[in-house]
Chain A
Amino acid sequence: MSGRLAFVNPEIALFAGTCVVMVLGLSRTFRTRKASAWVAGAAIVVAGFLAWFSTPSLSEAVCPITGHLFSEPVTASQGQMLLPEMVPFAKTMIAAVGLMLLLAMAGTVDRADEERIAAGRATFDPLRSNRAEFYAFFLFSLTGLMLTASADDLIWLFLALELTSLPTYIMVAISTSRNRSREAAVKYFFLGALGAAVFLYGFTLIYGGTGSTNLNEIASSFREHGISTLAMAGVLMSLLGLAFKIAAVPMHYYTPDVYEGAAPQVSGFLAFVPKAAGFIAILLLTAAVGWEYAGGAVGVNSLMASDAPEALRQVAGGKQLPEVLRLTLWVMAALTMTVGNVLAVLQTSVKRILAYSSIAHSGYMLVGVIAGPVGDTFTRNGVAAVLFYLLAYGVTSAGTFAVLAALERSRDRSGEPGEVEHLHDIRGLCASHPALGWAFVICNLSLLGLPPLLGFFGKLPLFTAGIAAGEIPLVVILGVNSAIGAYYYLRLAFTPFLEKPEDDAEPVAAAPFRSRAVAAVASAAVVLALSAFGGRAMVMSLNAAKYRPSPLPLEVKHDVNGEPAAHDVAGVERAPDDFHE
């Protein structure tokens, strides 16, 4: 029992932290209230260490799994996971980025109240205070994200995804005292509920098609009996719902409004946490479907028509997702990055630009999902590319939003400090606030994908994996989109450096929370450090992407001679045909 609980140690640590924070945040003494943020930070650090050092190896044949935490696995296949090594990597990454996000959260809620209390004009009123809830919800959301990473069951996955999302609705609502935030929260909530309903419906269809909610059993069922139309409809429906979490077309509409309405640090949270949850869920689902289907007519195979060497054709010869799923993801990826980038070009509000660009980044990462973990090198493994990109994007976008959070304009009538909204607000930032300004420049150039910064090394494996998987047109679309993205990222990156503020412009000031600036500078430093010494992180993400295609029937596949057994081939070849039945 305790051995199985070790698997969710990080989540337990986070949950314990949540409970403490909830109590501390309601204390009458300011110092104790303030300590709630420190406790949250400590919980995240502990969770990160636990995730990295104490997660049991899931490559073992039978091991404790979350879906069956409190009951014995029924069959051997239930005891295994499709992406077994992803859990420690994902959870550690979540903790690392979560810590930066937490630093940027300082003073988000209760600021006006605390100022009144400090001035002696009011006394502490637990009913008015939001601090406890805010940090608790922050930790809840991270807990949900970590649980998503370790899900191996559809029900578990659904609950984890909802645990990730529900707190974010409230965080958006209470992040500022403006009506805009509440409007954003309502919009986010209703569309989020719609998304959840859609993927829940998809999950039920998958259950209907396979008779199991266990991802591993679903995978086995797909391989043994083929993918029925019902199950495939379920997979596609789930994808559609998850597109909401990652802000992909056609479920991206909420993104700019919600990001604009929320406080910038909360927008930074939205840019990473739900996106990571969505991508992890998509990876788990696609892993259940598998990347071992015969190639379609598009891509490398058409390039290889007749004049390619035989060895090459075999290598490239279609190990991919089932054609209909691949095509759906393909269209989704192409549309997502194009829509995100093109609309970002048209914006003048910094937060809206970043919101649309966040859509575009989801499109880039979908290329890695399509490519899949075909090869055993980092350059060929699409899942490793997605995981590394998530890390790179999480760190960088946390830095970008932290810079915005660390700046404020003069207060409006309600006493709420104004946010940085338009590009002209950050003019001359490198001269007035050099650390923040340069952090913003570095983070945006990295998001642009400019070599030799981290963003480039994140995009490079997407390129290589995409090309190795034969998705050359998609990679070209990815390249063109990077170039479109260069337009607005250049504006973002160089407005602080090149432009001088207008004479009558209202100056921006640093927010009185030093940890926000620390978060910004730390993110930029991590970006630079990973640009120079990120090799280790790449190897880690490659190990994390170890894919166990299908435990039962494909066991023979790892034969010494590399000769696939007969029934295995038949199973794989048959699958797409069965789909049409």
Chain B
Amino acid sequence: MLLTALILMPLLFAGIVAFAPARNARGMALLGTTLALALGAFVCSQFDWGYADKHQFGAAEPFVWFPALGLNLSLGVDSVALMLVLLTVLLGPICVLCSWTAITQRVRTYYSWLLVLQAAMTGVFCARDVIFFYICFEFTLIPMFILISLYGSTNRRKAAIKFFLFTFTGSVIALAGLIYVAWYATTTSGGRFQGWTFDIGALESAARTMSLRQQSIVLLALMAGFAVKVPLFPVHTWLPLAHTEAPTAGSVILAGVLLKLGTYALYRFVLPFVPEAVVEYAPFIGVLCIIGILYGGLICWVQTDVKKLVAYSSVAHLGFCVLGLFALNNTGITGSILYMINHGLSTGALFLLIGMVYERYHTRSMKELGGLASKMPVWATFMVFFTMASVGLPGLNGFVSEFLCLLGAFQASSAWGSGLWGSLGLQPGATPGDYGPWFAAVAGVGMIVAAMYLLYMVGRMVWGPLVEPRSHAHHAHGAEDPNALPRDLTPREIGLLIPIAALCIGLGIYPKPVLDALQPPVSRTIAHYEQLRNSPRLTPTAPAEHASAQDGEGAP
């Protein structure tokens, strides 16, 4: 009931905003998102942390949408999903506030689609039915498409189309993979067809009995969809364009939550559904992550468009996140989930800050901006702070999660060593199986690169001689625009940065409550891998024996 309200609340306000007078639109949107935030806090307080791995708040009798398809609207959150829901509802009011003065055209359209987007994202995290998940997952595309193509900058139409097509193509293939799993689950349920189920829990236990070959195909299909969303290295090309062209709130949501849909889906579907294939191919995915980390970082270094720089830094950061996820151990996965939240906070804040500068100077080029500390000291303070959080300065949130991801990768040798060489046709153990440290070491170089480009950016923009766009200098003296913002941040802008900053410090200094809360669901996921590791692992040359060994053990 609570979760239903959490999804319906933004939708309700989207309807109100769409038909209310335009001057009330932003106020109503703020009210709606704030109420959703309050509701989110209430859900959090009602959550039974003792059973954090259980999906809570689900209705006993979920609403059946299409009985013929086996499609239910079943909801439920465990602690991982709850964290991400909280992140979503927290960013809601922030996105409304950061658009407060920036959006002047078609205001009602803007805020109502923003609210629809929030509802769809909440739905993704709350869904306990694969098809319902997919519906929400896909439906996030439409609001984002509209936000980018109506309110973006010059190249917005191309960016929006590219964003839509990349993610849509991938997720249709992922849908095929999920349906394959559902079909498999039906065929193995006693050998008879008793209707289809798309319940995630039911599919999870059935999917694990698939043979390695089937699992690999499902893995491929799922990765096709979710890696695009994350985005991982070869399919990341839509992201910088979309980020650059999107309005500030769009970028914040994109970085804060939409990318997390991909990593969340990896956590929710890929890891539990196809463990054997994951073990088999984790090293390859790890390599892709590392390429993303280094390549993304190096591209950042040569950017002059500051928004594009932060966008590419997302590619690198999410490389860490997925690397931790595919380390397949407790440390790595916990770190990865924490990384999802931290990246949402710090990168979201960076986009906010860049948006604030853009609103004042109408440029994002680092050639035209520099030494802003002398003009905008408050802004500069926050900029340095969030850059440090993003770089991973110890004491701030980025450090904890990045460290945990790397540590997880460092310890991941037992999973990766055999898998990588096994898939190359070599016997496990024929070569010393300690690759985790190498992965971690190379990825660690990415941290240094990240420090370099982010500090370079801060050095250009915050310190050094003052550089302002030439056109702006004329405007500033004239001060003819009554709506023009003051030079430094307004209380509204400071107000929306402070909660994020507080969370960054809190999660940096004392992340233990969050880490503890994540333990139960993560251990549940890990359990299958522990079991796999302890079972006599066989090379893919004898998959039949392997499958039967798995069958014999049964689901826990």
Contact = CB atoms under 8 A, between A and B. Distances in A.
Interface stretch (B48-56, B172-180, B452-460): B172-180
Given A452-B135, A463-B175, A307 B213 contact: yes
A487 B221 CA distance: 21
A466 to B, nearest CB: 9
Interface stretch (A101-109, A125-133, A350-358, A535-543): A535-543
B172 A309 contact: no
B65 interface: yes
Interface string B182-198: 11101110010101100
Contact of A463 (B64, B141, B146, B176): B176
Contacts of B217: 303, 472
Interface stretch (B93-101, B160-168, B247-255, B334-342): B160-168
A311 B135 contact: no
Contact of A483 (B64, B168, B547): B168
Interface residues of A, number: 47
A377 B169 contact: no
A498 B70 contact: no
A414 to B, nearest CB: 37
A560 to B, nearest CB: 14
Contact of A538 (B69, B188, B191): B69
A55 interface: no
Contacts of A497: 146
Interface string A429-473: 000000000000000010000111000110011011001100010
Contact of B187 (A306, A316, A456, A498): A316
Contacts of B214: 303, 308
Contact of B176 (A309, A377, A380, A476): A476
Interface in B236-285: none
B145 to A, nearest CB: 7
Contacts of A307: 211-213, 543-544, 546-547
B69 A490 contact: no
Nearest to A374: B193
Contact of A303 (B161, B176, B186, B213): B213
A482 B172 contact: yes
B150 interface: yes
Contacts of B188: 309, 311-312
Contact of B165 (A305, A380, A445, A486): A486
A431 to B, nearest CB: 10
B196 A315 contact: no
B176 A486 contact: no
A312 B175 contact: no
Interface in A249-302: none
A450 B165 contact: no
B209 interface: yes
Residue in A309, A375, A445 with the greatest tally of chain B CB atoms within 10 Å = A309
B434 interface: no
B70 A379 contact: yes
A315 B185 CA distance: 12
B165 A487 contact: yes
B379 to A, nearest CB: 33
B292 to A, nearest CB: 23
Nearest to B169: A483
Interface in B113-131: 131
A380 B193 CA distance: 9
Given A309-B188, A451-B139, A457 B69 contact: yes
Contacts of A482: 168, 172
Contacts of B221: 476
A480 B173 contact: yes
A451 B138 contact: yes
Nearest to B211: A307
B543 A486 contact: no
B1 interface: no
Contacts of A460: 69, 131, 179
B551 interface: yes
B122 to A, nearest CB: 15
A458 B226 CA distance: 24
A188 interface: no
Given A483-B169, A486-B164, A486-B165, A311 B138 contact: no
B374 to A, nearest CB: 41
SS class of chain B's interface: helix, strand, loop or mixed?
helix
B209 A309 contact: yes
B196 A379 contact: yes
A542 B68 contact: yes
B20 interface: no
Given A464-B179, A486-B164, A377 B193 contact: yes
A338 to B, nearest CB: 14
Interface string A316-339: 100000000000000000000000
Contact of A377 (B131, B168, B179, B196): B196
Given A306-B544, A377-B195, A498-B146, A464 B183 contact: yes
A378 interface: yes
Contacts of A456: 135
A348 to B, nearest CB: 15
A464 B164 CA distance: 24
B490 to A, nearest CB: 31
A539 B164 contact: no
A512 interface: no
A423 to B, nearest CB: 13
Given A307-B544, A309-B209, A379-B70, A315 B138 contact: no
Contact of A468 (B138, B150, B183): B183
Interface string B54-70: 00000000001111111
Contacts of A555: none
B123 to A, nearest CB: 10
Contacts of B183: 464, 467-468
Contact of A479 (B141, B145, B175, B187): B175
A59 B69 CA distance: 25
Contacts of A490: 145, 161, 164
A497 B112 CA distance: 14
B538 to A, nearest CB: 11
Contacts of A494: 145-146, 149
B219 to A, nearest CB: 14
Contacts of B66: 457, 534-535, 538
Nearest to A487: B165
Contacts of A306: 543-544
Contacts of A72: none
B169 A480 contact: yes
A483 B165 contact: yes
A479 B176 contact: yes
A467 B218 CA distance: 12
Given A315-B187, A376-B193, A464-B196, A450 B139 contact: yes
A534 B191 CA distance: 29
Contacts of A314: 191
A227 interface: no
A518 interface: no
Given A479-B173, A538-B69, A464 B139 contact: no
Contacts of A171: none
A463 B179 contact: yes
A456 B149 CA distance: 24
Nearest to A316: B187
B134 interface: yes
A350 to B, nearest CB: 18
A311 B547 CA distance: 14
Given A451-B139, A482-B172, 11 more contacts: A307-B546, A309-B547, A377-B193, A379-B69, A379-B70, A451-B135, A451-B138, A472-B180, A472-B217, A479-B176, A486-B164
24 contacts: A303-B213, A306-B543, A307-B213, A309-B209, A375-B193, A377-B193, A379-B186, A379-B196, A450-B138, A450-B141, A452-B135, A456-B135, A460-B69, A461-B69, A464-B69, A464-B196, A479-B169, A479-B176, A483-B165, A483-B169, A487-B161, A497-B146, A538-B68, A538-B69
Which 4 pairs show the lowest CB-CB distances between chains A and B? A483-B169, A538-B68, A451-B135, A378-B68
